[in-house]
Amino acid sequence: MIPRRYARIKQVLDRRQPDLTVLTEDVHKPHNLSAIIRTCDAVGVFAVHAVNRHSNTPTYSQVAQGSEKWVKLSSHSDIKTAIKHLQQQHRVYAAHLSDTAVDYRQIDYTQPTAILLGTEKWGVTPEAAGLVDGHIIIPMQGMVQSLNVSVANAVILFEAQRQRLQAGLYDRVRLDPETYRRVLFEWGYPDIAALYHRQGKPYPRLGEQGEILYRE
């Protein structure tokens, strides 16, 4: 890995926000999922969560521009498991056009937050809507009732980014040191990382310029 790439990867990891995430509920169109992942990368989301009742393997369209390599996607078996899992460390807000929804700008996104996005046609399921900590809405002034799901994701995440920039959350490393070291190696040396992974061996350490220190 050339030093410039090493510096770039570190710059991105330095800004990743492990306590800001997105959960998609049956978002099944590849271009929507791709656009969601791309925005997540842009805002510094470290991992995205997905529940897909109809397929386990999300596919990516060109909209992703390769961003799926930089944002981890975790699949969950069902929406209840996914929400309960995230609620251990986050408040989960459904982007949902309900009567109880509050304006998305009223939420404090500097706190650990997960945004639930609903499926393209039907939105968030009643089950999921009943499990989350609150509903948020992007006010609509036009004839059409809702935004495209990836657009809604972008609007909400950039408000989260605005608040987090103001609070200085991008000015210090937020990933724990072990995750940081692991991901730095995996992003810098994906093939070698896969080899070590297959052999069940820990990754070697990296030097100042990103070179592999096979012997220390």
CB of 153 to ligand SAM, least distance (A): 7
Residue in the shown chain whose Cβ atom is closest to ligand SAM:
123
- 132/137 with CB nearer ligand SAM: 137
Q: Taking the complex as a whole, how short is the minimal distance between the CB of residue 148 and ligand SAM, in angstroms?
A: 6
Residues 123, 129, 131, 132, Cα dihedral to 10°: 90
- Looking at the Cβ atoms of 151 and 193, the one nearer to ligand SAM is 151
Pick the closer one to ligand SAM by CB: 1 or 136.
136
Distance CA 94, CA 137 (A): 9
Site residues (vs ligand SAM, CB under 6 A): 95-97, 117-118, 120, 122-124, 137-138, 140, 146-147, 149, 152
Q: Which is nearer to ligand SAM, 1 or 116 (CB)?
A: 116
Surface-to-core class of residue 166, CB atoms within 10 Å of its CB (0-12 exposed, 13-18 middle, 19+ buried): exposed
Least Å distance, CB 151 to ligand SAM, is 7
User: Which C-beta is closer to ligand SAM: that of 102 or that of 167?
Assistant: 102
Q: How far is the CB of 137 from ligand SAM (least distance, A)?
A: 4
Q: How far is the CB of 23 from ligand SAM (least distance, A)?
A: 10
Residue with tokens 């069940």: 200
How many CA atoms lie less than 13 Å away from 213 in the CB half-sphere? 7
Cα–Cα distance, 137 to 166 (Å, whole number): 22
DSSP letters spanning 149-186: HHHHHHHHHHHHHHHHHHTTTTSS--S-HHHHHHHHHH
